[in-house]
Amino acid sequence: MIRLLYLVRYFFIFLRELTLATWAVTKLVLAPHPRLRPGFVAFPMETRSDLEITALANSITLTPGTISVHVERGQGVLVIHAIDIGDDPQSVRDSIKNALENNILKWTRPRPRNSPPRQGAQA
């Protein structure tokens, strides 16, 4: 039951991220002189199962301005292309980790009873 609640929660978190990304891409496109810094970012994944990787990669691709390009399962890396990585590619990684990956892991992996929350997990 808890995992189902986390799945519903993830749905709303994803909708929020979708809305924010749509707004950010709209501002970039409509800017008179956009200063885009497109690029590739290697994202070290904590996700391991096919379901987790598929959910993460599809969530990234469905979000405007980003697309999942390649999964290197052996190394646990997902390569992402972003329309604007800005000055700090690590901020792109952190955003994906905090908003998407941590919340996917909450509904895909059962947590043993009486165990502390996952490290870096968002409340």
What pTM was computed for the model? 0.84
How many Å apart are CA 15 and CA 7, to the nearest integer? 12
Q: Is residue 52 part of a domain?
A: yes
Residue 82 belongs to a domain: yes
- In this predicted structure, what is the pLDDT of residue 123? 43
Q: What is d(CA 79, CA 83) in angstroms, rounded to the nearest whole number?
A: 13
pLDDT in tens, 46-88: 999 999 999 999 999 999 999 999 999 889 999 999 999 988 8
92 in any annotated domain: yes
117: in domain = no
Summarize the confidence of residues 83-105 as an average pLDDT.
Answer: 94
Residue 113 falls inside a structural domain: no
Distance (Å, whole) CA 28 – CA 10: 27
Q: Is residue 33 part of a domain?
A: yes
**Residue span of the structural domain in which 58 resides:** 2-108
Whether residue 61 lies inside any domain: the answer is yes
Decide if pLDDT at 120 tops 60. no
Q: Cβ atoms within 10 A of the Cβ of 93, count?
A: 17
- C-beta separation of 78 from 68 below 8 A: yes
Total domains present in the chain: 1
Residue 58 backbone phi and psi in degrees, to 5: -70, -40
